[in-house]
Structure 1
Amino acid sequence: MKKLVMIGLILFVLPTVIAGTGWMFNASEVGFTVDVHQRVLIHRFSEFSRVAYIEVNTTLFPKSTSRQRVNYQYTKPNVSMEGDWYTFRWRLPQNILNLSVYSTLKNVNLVKQVKKRVEFPTSKLPPKGSEFIQPTKIITSDDPKIAKLASKLAEGENDLYEVLFKLGSWVHSNINYSLSDETRLESRNASWVLSHKMGACDELSALFMALCRALKIPVRYVVGEAYSNLEQGGWQNHGWVEAYFPVYGWIPYDVTYGEFGWIDTSHIVFYYSSDIGTPPTMLKYDGSEVNISIDEPKVDINLLSANGAFPQLYQIKVEPYKEAVGLDSHNLIIVTLNNTQDYYLSAYITLLRTRGIINLDDRTRYVLLKPRESKREFFLIKTSANLSDRYIYTYPIRVVTLRNYTAETKFQAKKDFETFSYERIKAIEEYLKREELAANKTLVKDIDLECGFLGNYTYVNVELPFNCSVTNRGNTLLKNLKLCLEGDCRVFNLNLQETRVFQFKVNYSEPGPRDVVFTVEGNQVSRTEILSIKLLPPPKLEIAKINYPSSVGYKSRFGLAFLINKTVDSPVKDVTVNLSHEYLSDKFLLSGFKKAKLVNISIRGRDLMMGANNFTIILEYKDLLDRSYKTHAEIVIRLENLSIVQKISLWFKGFFRWLDHLFD
């Protein structure tokens, strides 16, 4: 019989902060030998077992690309080749078979030069392009949460390079690298990664690809090897992504390493796929009473050469905001990156730790540099609080990049120099950032207006509180904005990304539905928010249809019945009835009251007093704001036709009640 077995490759690589060693970034060309080898194992069940042939198809070996040149490739045993697949075949094989693909290759330190803005969204696809934008079981780009996140990250952008940079840096910064059992044995899909905020290289790539495909950006998966210099690192199986740029072609993005728009020379390409988890090796055989399996591939890589000096692509400068500050003071470290090339670059910078300095924000930053663009990054720091005023303290500051570019500066802390509080240095940082934004961005005016009712219920003739938040979503200062509610207006300025909250109070006298209209207007910008509310009148209940006997006897048991009726359609709560009499008192809560309820109270004649008995029915209730309301009704019931014994009994009851009240 014939069987087809598919062998998958589990991808994992240790993440790096500054991955690899100097040759990965600084050499112009790097040479390697790559030996991929596997074993085929034949397990025979009996002496009658037979194997006519075994065939292994594999694409797990280095390929030539625009940055990778395979100079020599040798297979053992010999193979036939179809496309990017090698086929190993054995007739009447023995128990253990070995196969290998040995290659020598050179990788060029290359950054694909995208010199002009590529329009986003893009409608241009590569050949067979539809498969590179479709969701799969792993790349769940049709997940609403992923689509929402992708839209949020790309909102307002029209530059494909910038969109991909935002997506990649978000994944790298927000998903924790983890080679746990949950990710080591199988690839998790993008939805799982977004939910759990963790994964290995194939999980991080899956989420990045899903975000891209949610925006119809064509992406493909790349399987190969890469180098990590962390503990237990070295050469590891690895996966990364390539995104398609119309005119420019496929451009690499390694969200595990934080390399966006380029990859270091340690990345060795084996094969491409439109999906993650596509098996690179397939086993087929013809035999009986046997079990045939293939080991996981082993890859041996040797570095042969690292030639030439790769030029520095951008300039880096670091300087303190103040060269000298007081003791126990804040300061800003300003890093200026200048792209000297006429194409896009991405940079990853790290502010190294300095003894005696407290870093108050993230020490690492990803920066996208457009052609010939200069950008500044700001790091907020603070000197140690335990400084002696007898000394002058000098702090060396050093910044490094992923490509091992470095820049250094220093500043001093000493007595009698200006001291900066956190609030003051933060305000300076925000001002400098606004300057930076104005220098590098086209001015965009955009605001958000969100209003809401602060209370729970809306009644007429009650002050209704509303909140409105106005947020500057553009990249320019908005001046003299006017926020109004029915003639009540507030005039204010709004800084970049600033949100201001305003409160309004309004009183309406007519019940029923009403639209509350808020407007904010400024120069070339406006927004309107309409809240639909229903104004409630005060509730009103009445006591109606009271039914009772005008006179009763001593031995009578009679009913007092009445209807509680809602005469105004407005909700009520805590409806209570209190029957008040000189001798009797009965109070109870009417649960579940809606529009009307019949109440029936049973009374004994012997509990009354001789002659006229005055009863008061008191009805109390509240509205939804806990305001109290009360109404009442009065009736008279006579106790008549009493015998002498009954009269004496009533006299004694009255006497004892008088005594009780006397001593209360």
Structure 2
Amino acid sequence: MKRLFSILISLFILASLVIAAEEDLSGSSELHTQIKLDSMVDVKSVGNEFFLESMDVDLTFYPRDTPFQSIQTVDYTTKPNTRTEPKGQPLYQWGQLSAGPVEYGYVADVVSYPYVVKVTEEPPFPLPSIEVDDLYLSATETIKSDSPQITARATEIVAGETDTFRAAHKIGVWVNDNIEYSLETLTEKATQDADWVFENRRGVCDELTTLFVSMVRSVGIPAKFVSGMVYSNTIDGFAPHAWAEIYLPGTGWVPFDPTFGQLGFVDAAHIKMDEPLDYRDASVEFTWKSRDANIEPEELSFDVETVSSIQQLQSSVTLGVKALVDDVGASSYVPIEVKINNPNTHYAATSLTLTKVPTKIEPIIVQVLVEPQSTQRVYFVIQTPDELLDGYSYTSEIGVKDFFGSVGETEIHYALDGEYVSKEEAENIYKGLEDETKQQVAYFYFCDTEKESFYTYEEVVAITCSVKSLSNVILTDVKLCFDDECETFDLGIAQEKKFEFVKPVVEKDYDVTLEVDRKRSKKTVMIKPKEVPTLEAEFLNTFETIGYDETKTLSIQLEMSEPLTKINVEGTGLKASGKDKKSLEDGVLKVQIEGKKIYPGDEVDLVLTYKDKNGREYEKKESLTVKVINVPFLVKVKQVLFGWLS
């Protein structure tokens, strides 16, 4: 009988992913750094009357205080010395300056921690309402959230999703998997927008982040661009970097770094400095007042030194690893199931890395997002060696580690005479076990008129109908009908479309129907024009006489067919000025009548003007006979002479 030998084979591949663990600052639970920024402005004389009255340098690239990052100390450096005002970021202000170099900068001590936000409630997708400024959903020069091709791909990725956190995570995975990090685009005059990155499938961190922000915004998820410094093991130091944050209702801003594959968290080596609306926005702005002078700013220069690092990351998940097939043959493909258990009341965002395999392979990293108090399964496919000795059985350890340090292991067994498993067979084994997303069809629509009231004198009314998708799939062949006018269209995830219908101003009930996915709903829009508003006036108190030097209050009850605006009164006998000239309270208009304003006549003629809700003006005239008494003798004589001359 042939003797059977057993051999243990394991290749450790973690070291090929990063530098030695003790040097990898991304694994810090607390990181203390000192950031030095220096730059210079060359002030030049360009004429015989050189004079520079003042210069301000507003620097926005500056470490921020956040719940996961704190500024311990900061010292501002300037030459010549000047006044510096930290307004969230340094503002350097100089008075009169001579030609020559002007230096500025700062030295800041910063302590940072892993930016891990505890999301405890499932945010619905699509989001029914947005709690933040619309600018976090808007397109910019480089953020192409209105691009048809970007919107189409983002919609395809999140189709069927019901959770906004998971939807953003899926888009982050797609960007990380499909866009190559390439320094070819990093030239001074060639910063690319999201459409270019999407089409060319490559870019630097700014451009990957811009594409990610564009994609999540296109499906209604608010997102912002973040710039800062990050530790890079490729240069063994810190370098400028960009990542993003998405907004989740009830939670706030959650970080996403599609370049590093840190989706839903970022490590402590991410130092947040700025939140520009667009990555082409300047990090420093200069203003000055001068004559025959010019300024030439230099680039910002950075130096980040590590003061201390504590490496005590704690994972919030546990890992269980098992092979779905075993005792296979040479060159066989083996599906590996990793069960990620999250016992916490908040989501767990992390990444998984294969650390031990039987054959040398490229590093395999998978980003995962596990819901609170639940379990998620992830699958890898590994391959056994193709050269095995007859008569031997082989055992290999399979190891998996998550970003925060949790480890899971198992073993696989194989031999030359074992059963061969193809790659397609291995993939088919786990594909039936993967969770399926559920389609959700939801929407709302409403119709509204351009203004609140319509009157019989108007000819047409414009009615705007809005349809917004709350579905996690594209709604196709949506049909909106207003009376006998119909529009057919497609509606993307979180997309809203508006249609205007112009109808005559007549009393009528219009039927509005919306047909989605073969289901029809109906609303009614009622147009009921109003008659021209009326105003009736009744004198509550009258008086037959008034002294020449006397002032009396006349009260008028106003009966209005509807609330009216800008009611005013003019006419003979009214007091000329003063805050007590007239008042309106509880429908009673009170006006001050002066005898001298009536004389020599005996009529108080009032003109009431008012406006309807459209701003159209009307007037109503009222009169009252009042005899002016106690007229001074000289006034009478003057009036007789004036009448005689006339």
> Shorter-chain-normalised TM-score: which range?
0.5 to 0.7
Distance 1:306 1:124 in 2: 41
Determine the structure 1 residue equivalent to 2:92: 87
With over 3 angstroms needed to count, the CA separation of the structure-2 counterparts of 1:223 and 1:19, relative to structure 1, is farther
With over 3 angstroms needed to count, the CA separation of the structure-2 counterparts of 1:358 and 1:60, relative to structure 1, is closer
Contact in 1 for aligned 2:53/2:96 (Cα 8 Å): yes
Q: Is 1:214–2:218 an aligned residue pair?
A: yes
- 2:91 is paired with a residue whose SS is strand
With over 3 angstroms needed to count, the CA separation of the structure-2 counterparts of 1:216 and 1:444, relative to structure 1, is closer
- 2:62 is paired with a residue whose SS is coil
AA aligned opposite 1:351? L
Determine the structure 2 residue equivalent to 1:348: 351
Q: Is 1:189–2:193 an aligned residue pair?
A: yes
Distance 1:94 1:444 in 2: 67
Determine the structure 2 residue equivalent to 1:72: 73
Distance 1:329 1:172 in 2: 28
Determine the structure 1 residue equivalent to 2:35: 34
Q: Is 1:119–2:124 an aligned residue pair?
A: yes
Q: Is 1:382–2:386 an aligned residue pair?
A: no
Q: Is 1:250–2:253 an aligned residue pair?
A: yes
AA aligned opposite 1:103? A
Q: Is 1:312–2:297 an aligned residue pair?
A: no
AA aligned opposite 2:159? E
Determine the structure 2 residue equivalent to 1:268: 271
Determine the structure 2 residue equivalent to 1:565: none
Determine the structure 1 residue equivalent to 2:493: none
AA aligned opposite 1:33? Q
Mapping for residues 407-486 of structure 1, pairs under 5 Å: 407-431=408-432, 433=433, 436-437=434-435
Determine the structure 2 residue equivalent to 1:104: 109
Contact in 1 for aligned 2:160/2:438 (Cα 8 Å): no
CA offsets 1:461-504 (integer angstroms, 9 cap, x no match): xxxxxxxxxxxxx9xxxxxxxxxxxxxxxxxxxxxxxxxxxxxx
Distance 1:258 1:137 in 2: 25
Compute the TM-score of the two structures, normalised by the length of structure 1. Answer: 0.59
CA offsets 1:401-449 (integer angstroms, 9 cap, x no match): 3335443333232255444344543432334x2xx42xxx676699xxx
AA aligned opposite 2:156? K
Q: Is 1:237–2:203 an aligned residue pair?
A: no
Contact in 2 for aligned 1:53/1:93 (Cα 8 Å): no
- Residue 130 (structure 1) aligned to one of 108, 131, 134: 134
Distance 2:37 2:241 in 1: 14
Q: Is 402-411 or 197-206 further displaced after alignment?
A: 402-411
Contact in 1 for aligned 2:338/2:378 (Cα 8 Å): yes
CA offsets 1:289-322 (integer angstroms, 9 cap, x no match): 4431111111111222224723221112323234
Contact in 2 for aligned 1:141/1:213 (Cα 8 Å): yes
With over 3 angstroms needed to count, the CA separation of the structure-2 counterparts of 1:244 and 1:277, relative to structure 1, is same
Aligned residues: 425
CA offsets 1:339-379 (integer angstroms, 9 cap, x no match): 232211222222247454678xx933222211122222222
- Residue 176 (structure 1) aligned to one of 180, 202, 209: 180
With over 3 angstroms needed to count, the CA separation of the structure-2 counterparts of 1:183 and 1:155, relative to structure 1, is farther
Distance 1:184 1:335 in 2: 44
With over 3 angstroms needed to count, the CA separation of the structure-2 counterparts of 1:19 and 1:291, relative to structure 1, is farther
Distance 2:408 2:255 in 1: 27
Distance 2:389 2:188 in 1: 52
Determine the structure 2 residue equivalent to 1:302: 305
Distance 1:312 1:67 in 2: 17
- State the percentage of identical aligned residues: 26
Compute the TM-score of the two structures, normalised by the length of structure 2. Answer: 0.60
Distance 1:63 1:30 in 2: 15
Contact in 1 for aligned 2:28/2:267 (Cα 8 Å): no
Q: Is 83-92 or 332-341 further displaced after alignment?
A: 83-92
CA offsets 1:507-545 (integer angstroms, 9 cap, x no match): xxxxxxxxxxxxxxxxxxx99xxxxxxxxxxxxxxxxxx
Contact in 2 for aligned 1:358/1:384 (Cα 8 Å): no
With over 3 angstroms needed to count, the CA separation of the structure-2 counterparts of 1:166 and 1:330, relative to structure 1, is closer
With over 3 angstroms needed to count, the CA separation of the structure-2 counterparts of 1:106 and 1:124, relative to structure 1, is farther
Q: Report the CA distance between 1:32 and its aligned residue.
A: 1.5
Distance 1:203 1:63 in 2: 23
Mapping for residues 502-541 of structure 1, pairs under 5 Å: none
With over 3 angstroms needed to count, the CA separation of the structure-2 counterparts of 1:257 and 1:158, relative to structure 1, is same
- 2:35 is paired with a residue whose SS is strand
Contact in 2 for aligned 1:346/1:368 (Cα 8 Å): yes
Q: Is 294-303 or 72-81 further displaced after alignment?
A: 72-81
Q: Is 142-151 or 45-54 further displaced after alignment?
A: 45-54
Determine the structure 1 residue equivalent to 2:480: none
Q: Report the CA distance between 1:81 and its aligned residue.
A: 3.5
Distance 1:417 1:123 in 2: 55
Distance 1:294 1:21 in 2: 40
Distance 2:172 2:19 in 1: 17
Return the index of the structure with the highest Cα Rg.
1
Determine the structure 1 residue equivalent to 2:206: 202
Q: Comparing both chains, which one has the higher relative contact order based on Cα–Cα distances under 8 Å and sequence gaps of 6 or more? A: 2
Contact in 1 for aligned 2:185/2:192 (Cα 8 Å): no
Contact in 2 for aligned 1:120/1:160 (Cα 8 Å): yes
AA aligned opposite 2:323? P
Q: Report the CA distance between 1:90 and its aligned residue.
A: 4.4
Q: Report the CA distance between 1:92 and its aligned residue.
A: 2.0
Q: Is 1:140–2:132 an aligned residue pair?
A: no
With over 3 angstroms needed to count, the CA separation of the structure-2 counterparts of 1:294 and 1:123, relative to structure 1, is farther
AA aligned opposite 2:205? C
- Residue 162 (structure 2) aligned to one of 152, 158, 165: 158
With over 3 angstroms needed to count, the CA separation of the structure-2 counterparts of 1:71 and 1:356, relative to structure 1, is closer
Contact in 2 for aligned 1:27/1:306 (Cα 8 Å): yes
Distance 1:126 1:445 in 2: 23
Contact in 1 for aligned 2:212/2:258 (Cα 8 Å): yes
Distance 1:445 1:55 in 2: 54
- 1:292 is paired with a residue whose SS is strand
Q: Which runs of 5+ in 2 are unaligned?
A: 1-15, 442-471, 473-516, 519-646
Distance 2:258 2:347 in 1: 17
Q: Report the CA distance between 1:95 and its aligned residue.
A: 0.9
With over 3 angstroms needed to count, the CA separation of the structure-2 counterparts of 1:311 and 1:354, relative to structure 1, is closer
Distance 2:358 2:245 in 1: 40
Distance 1:277 1:443 in 2: 39
Distance 1:32 1:139 in 2: 32
AA aligned opposite 1:167? I
AA aligned opposite 2:103? N
Contact in 2 for aligned 1:357/1:382 (Cα 8 Å): no
Distance 1:387 1:63 in 2: 57
With over 3 angstroms needed to count, the CA separation of the structure-2 counterparts of 1:144 and 1:357, relative to structure 1, is same
Q: Which runs of 5+ in 1 are unaligned?
A: 1-15, 447-473, 475-525, 528-664
- 1:188 is paired with a residue whose SS is coil
AA aligned opposite 1:109? P
With over 3 angstroms needed to count, the CA separation of the structure-2 counterparts of 1:134 and 1:319, relative to structure 1, is same
With over 3 angstroms needed to count, the CA separation of the structure-2 counterparts of 1:332 and 1:43, relative to structure 1, is same
Determine the structure 1 residue equivalent to 2:459: none
Distance 1:235 1:185 in 2: 23
